[in-house]
Amino acid sequence: MVETRLVSILILMVTFVAIVIATQVIRRRRNAFPIRSIRAYETLSPQVGAAIEANRPVHLSAGSAGLGGTNTLLALANAELFYRVAQQAVIGATAPLVTTSDTTAIPLGYDILRRAYESRGLIRGYRSSSVRWYPAEPRSLAFAAMLTASLGVNHVNTNVLVGSFGPELALIADAAARHDQGLIAASDQLTGQAVAYAVSDQPLIGEEMFAAGAYLGDEASYRAGLVTQDLLRWLLIIGLLLSGLAAVNPDVGRFLGSLLGALSGRR
């Protein structure tokens, strides 16, 4: 129990110190900690630029992700991603579209677009009608059917479908392909992620959905958080390797036990 608490405290301390140090260094030298390449984020800005030139909207949808449920964190992460994309798209003549099948995400959509227009000094161009709710419930075929019709009616240029989708994502992707529209997709549902990986131009996988601020924003804190996340991932890998080695080699196990005992003050 003591060792568990000690490891938890050490992880929190390492995380806090790493974020503080990385943030300060990145503020002084932006390229001090290079971040790994994620193709989906690298292609987003050119796709938004193409939408602006074509005078066609960018479509942003989180599916059934909403607030107050098991995917609240995902909904908030999507809000950051959608805000960054909308911030680029609102300088065009056609407003971006935000769709959801969860009523709790409607105010979030309003806030995303309002902040995007406000950040560009174009608040007069904000229209709440650009946020749309379609039939609810996870894996809703009705939602997918409405989106497939909407993509053609609204002449969408690029779709960013990141959130909670099931296999119905395949129907939406098929409609996007038939209308020659770009598609970046990801889902917290296994079946939806499998479809997203197969049909998306550049899929996002796992925790990449939470990294939008670091790739699409300029704030040092977001980049520092991503660097820290990668650092902790490597520390976890090292920890798992040491645990496995300790399981097959008693000497390593005794050494690690003695080290943890010394760190916890036990003799």
The pLDDT tens digits for 51-108 are 999 999 999 998 888 888 788 888 888 888 899 999 999 998 899 999 998 888 999 9
Say if residue 12 is exposed, middle or buried (CB neighbours under 10 Å; 0-12, 13-18, 19+): exposed
Given a cut of 70, whether residue 24 has pLDDT beyond it is no
Residue with tokens 């991932």: 233
Res. 229: pLDDT tops 80? no
- CA quadruple 67, 73, 74, 78: dihedral, nearest 10: 80
The predicted pLDDT at position 117 comes to 94
Burial class (CB in 10 A: 0-12, 13-18, 19+), 253: middle
Q: What is the mean pLDDT of residues 121-135?
A: 88
Q: Which pLDDT score is estimated for 39?
A: 84
User: What angle, 0 to 180 degrees and rounded to 10, lies between the N-to-C axes of helices 72-89 and 39-54?
Assistant: 40
pLDDT score, position 2? 47
- Mean pLDDT over all residues of the chain? 80
Superfamily grouping for domain 39-210: NAD(P)-binding Rossmann-like Domain (3.40.50.720)
Look-up: residue for tokens 């991503």?
A: 226
Q: Please name the residue ranges forming H helices in 124-189.
A: 141-153, 169-178
**Residue % of the chain over a pLDDT of 70:** 74
Instruction: Indicate the pTM of the whole model.
Output: 0.75
Give the pLDDT confidence score for residue 45 in this predicted structure.
86
Instruction: Identify which of 201, 206, 172, 170 has the alpha carbon closest to the alpha carbon of residue 188.
Output: 206
The residue extents of the domains of the chain are 2-32+221-263, 39-210
Give ∠ CA 133-150-148 in degrees, rounded to 5: 100
Question: In which band, very low, low, confident or very high, does the pLDDT at 236 lie, cut at 50, 70 and 90?
Answer: confident
Angle at 192 between CA 186 and CA 197, to 5 degrees: 55
Quickly list H helices, 90-211: 106-119, 141-153, 169-178, 190-199
Cβ atoms 219, 40 nearer than 8 A: no
Pair 95, 82: CB distance under 8 Å: no
Q: How many residues does the chain have?
A: 267
Residues contacting 63, CB < 8 A, separation 6+: 100, 101, 138, 143, 161, 163, 164, 165, 169, 187, 192
- pLDDT classification of 34: cutoffs 50, 70, 90: low
Q: What is the pLDDT of residue 206?
A: 76
Dist CA 53 CA 184 (whole Å):
19
Please, are residues 92 and 52 in contact by the beta-carbon 8 Å criterion? yes
Instruction: Kindly indicate the confidence band of residue 252, based on its pLDDT and cuts at 50, 70 and 90.
Output: low
Do 96 and 131 contact (CB within 8 A), yes or no?
A: no
Within the chain, what is the greatest distance between any pair of CA atoms? 73
DSSP structural state of residue 31: T
Judge contact between 161 and 172, C-beta under 8 A: yes
Give the C-alpha distances (Å, rounded to integers) separating 226 from 110, 170, 176, 235, 254: 27, 30, 31, 14, 34
What is the rounded average pLDDT of the residues 148-170? 89
Given pLDDT bands bounded at 50, 70 and 90, which one contains residue 224? low
